């Protein structure tokens, strides 16, 4: 974390009344805090054991909440903290609640979850996850990252008031797979897929998210489920008779990924039954990415489910030539959904693959179909937005560090844009420019790390420009 003063900590509380801010007592060892070692700051009030505090970073700024500990515990002999996901004796886990920010909190609305009773989740996950002889460092780091993401998500739910309750989750529909990266240094595997990356990205941005995807009942499928669980993403899975999807990627001369897909990915299929339709119907926004639009039956089922929902709709075709059966059918299915969309994201590579046309031509086509806003991405040339009242173009962000991997750039842009769309409801040029600029910063930060996990600009603190 970035080092904070006592005043900055107090100012960060989003759900505290002035009296609560005034009486909040800092940890006894606050002046000795090793900020470089912290993923987030959490402590019990040394003057009042009924109060606690949790401070995370959101877009480079501190965001804190005041917690109330439930009296007694009444839990079983063992219990699990919902932040660090470690099993502990029941009396070492407690229910903490936080009044929501704004009018929702004033009306008595709150959120709660079980946490380590002493709020030591940051340390507990490290003690509970020692590196076993057969365990790779990345698996431990993933659990630590998951703890931080769940802490950030909890604070995010408090910040967003009543708008992101259980009936206001984000639904993401699309692919989930294993990315196998091959290059001169060897072979590495990551849990991925465009829709999965977007779902995890949204969760990291503090939005409760459900992913609807095909996942096999196999070891790779178990890894996908565990990864989603680490980041607090709910999964509604369609079973796969061919196992879990896999993409083997190499890099072309420009460093862009080139994919070869397995049989499961080639024959992917999603079922839209009662549970899937309920998730979409309850969502504040449904986000569709890398969907098999060239399967007419699946495309029609998705469109029917979306038409029955009251939430917003964002669509990214994100086509993969190696998974596409029929280009014309894909375009037909995509355009049927784009006509219903509040936001369509399309990149220059999508325009070339689907339409063999310039991006501006495809952008205008989306507007003609009825898309409320079209977000265009042009790689190193930046991104733009067009609506009835706005037409803007913004450059890529200049951030510290060198580009390591562009795999997750587009997914990070979509995640950030959706989060901004929900929280800010942009209507003028300035607001849309802020949305695009924020998305560019998030994408730039993501590209400074290997893999497609969304990163915030705050993750780049300490790096030199261009280092």
Which tens digit of pLDDT belongs to each residue from 417-435? 999 998 877 878 999 999 9
Picking from 263, 272, 257, 408, the residue whose alpha carbon sits closest to that of residue 323 is: 263
How many helices and strands in the chain, by DSSP H and E?
A: 15, 20
Helix, strand or coil, per DSSP, at residue 407 = coil
- How many of the other CB atoms lie within 10 Å of CB of 179? 23
> pTM of the full predicted structure?
0.67
Say if residue 384 is exposed, middle or buried (CB neighbours under 10 Å; 0-12, 13-18, 19+): buried
Say if residue 329 is exposed, middle or buried (CB neighbours under 10 Å; 0-12, 13-18, 19+): middle
Q: What is the dihedral of CA 364, 366, 370, 371, to 10 degrees?
A: -110
Beta-ladder partners of 174: 289
- How many of the other CB atoms lie within 10 Å of CB of 217? 13
Picking from 451, 444, 450, the residue whose alpha carbon sits closest to that of residue 465 is: 444
The answer to whether 64 and 79 are in contact (CB under 8 A) is no
Picking from 109, 210, 201, the residue whose alpha carbon sits closest to that of residue 169 is: 210
Tokens, residue 145: 């990252």
Q: How far is CA 346 from CA 76, 264, 318, 405, in A?
A: 51, 26, 8, 20
pLDDT in tens, the chain (467 residues): 899 999 999 999 999 999 999 999 999 999 999 998 898 999 999 998 899 999 998 767 899 999 999 876 544 566 778 788 777 787 888 889 999 888 778 877 787 888 999 999 988 887 754 444 444 444 456 678 778 878 887 887 788 653 333 345 899 999 999 988 887 788 888 899 999 999 999 999 989 999 999 999 999 999 999 999 999 999 999 999 999 999 998 876 666 667 899 999 999 999 999 999 999 998 999 999 999 999 999 999 999 999 888 789 999 999 999 899 999 999 999 999 999 999 999 999 999 999 999 999 999 999 999 899 999 999 999 999 999 889 999 999 988 888 888 888 999 999 999 999 988 778 789 999 999 999 999 999 999 998 889 998 888 876 655 54
Tokens, residue 134: 């057969």
Beta-ladder partners of 45: none
Q: What is the pLDDT of residue 258?
A: 79
- Give the pairing type, strands 285-289 and 257-261: unpaired
Burial letters 182-191, b for 16+ CB under 10 A, else e: eeeeeeeebb
Q: What is the pLDDT of residue 193?
A: 94
Helices (DSSP H) in 18-80: which residue ranges? 18-23
The answer to whether 235 and 214 are in contact (CB under 8 A) is no
The answer to whether 93 and 115 are in contact (CB under 8 A) is yes
The answer to whether 399 and 448 are in contact (CB under 8 A) is yes
The answer to whether 374 and 414 are in contact (CB under 8 A) is no
DSSP state of 239: P
Distance, in Å, from the CA atom of 402 to the CA atom of 180, rounded to the nearest integer, reads 23
């Amino acid at each position: 974390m970035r080092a904070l003063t006592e005043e900055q900590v107090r100012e960060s509380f989003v759900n505290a009344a002035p009296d609560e801010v005034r009486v909040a007592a800092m940890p006894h060892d606050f002046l000795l805090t090793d900020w470089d070692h912290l993923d987030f700051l959490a402590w019990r009030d040394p003057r009042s054991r009924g109060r606690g505090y949790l401070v995370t970073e959101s877009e480079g700024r501190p965001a804190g909440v005041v917690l109330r500990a439930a009296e007694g515990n009444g839990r079983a002999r063992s219990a699990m903290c919902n932040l660090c996901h470690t099993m502990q004796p029941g009396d070492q886990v407690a229910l903490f609640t936080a009044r929501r920010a704004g009018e929702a909190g004033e009306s008595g609305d709150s959120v709660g979850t079980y946490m380590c009773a002493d709020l030591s989740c940051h340390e507990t996950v490290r003690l509970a996850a020692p590196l076993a002889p057969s365990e790779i460092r990345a698996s431990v780091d993933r659990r630590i990252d998951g703890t931080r993401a769940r802490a950030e998500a909890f604070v995010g739910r408090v910040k967003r008031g009543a708008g992101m309750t259980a009936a206001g989750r984000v639904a993401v529909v699309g692919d989930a797979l294993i990315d196998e990266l091959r290059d001169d240094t060897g072979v590495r595997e990551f849990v991925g897929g465009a829709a999965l990356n977007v779902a995890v990205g949204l969760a990291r941005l503090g939005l409760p998210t459900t992913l609807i995807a095909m996942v096999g009942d196999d070891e790779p499928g178990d890894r996908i489920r565990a990864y989603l669980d680490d980041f607090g993403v709910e999964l509604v899975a369609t079973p796969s008779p061919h196992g879990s999807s896999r993409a083997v990627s190499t890099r072309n001369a420009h460093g862009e990924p080139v994919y070869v897909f397995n049989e499961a990915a080639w024959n992917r299929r999603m079922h839209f039954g009662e549970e899937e339709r309920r998730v979409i119907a309850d969502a504040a926004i449904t986000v569709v990415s890398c969907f098999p639009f060239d399967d007419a039956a699946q495309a029609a089922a998705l469109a029917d489910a979306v038409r029955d929902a009251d939430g917003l709709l964002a669509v990214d075709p994100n086509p993969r030539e190696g998974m596409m059966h029929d280009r014309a059918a894909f375009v037909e299915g995509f355009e049927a959904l784009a006509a219903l969309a509040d936001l369509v994201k399309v990149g220059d590579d999508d325009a070339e693959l689907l339409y063999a046309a310039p991006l501006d031509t495809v952008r205008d086509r989306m507007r003609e179909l009825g898309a409320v806003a079209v977000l265009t991405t042009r790689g190193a040339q930046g991104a733009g937005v067009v609506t009835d009242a706005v037409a803007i173009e913004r450059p890529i962000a200049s951030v510290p560090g060198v580009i390591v991997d562009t795999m997750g750039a587009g997914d990070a842009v979509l995640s950030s844009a959706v989060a901004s769309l929900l929280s800010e409801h942009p209507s003028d040029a300035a607001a849309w420019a802020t949305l695009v600029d924020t998305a560019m910063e998030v994408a730039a930060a993501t590209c400074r790390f290997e893999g497609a996990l969304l990163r915030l600009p705050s993750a780049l603190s300490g790096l030199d420009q261009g280092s």
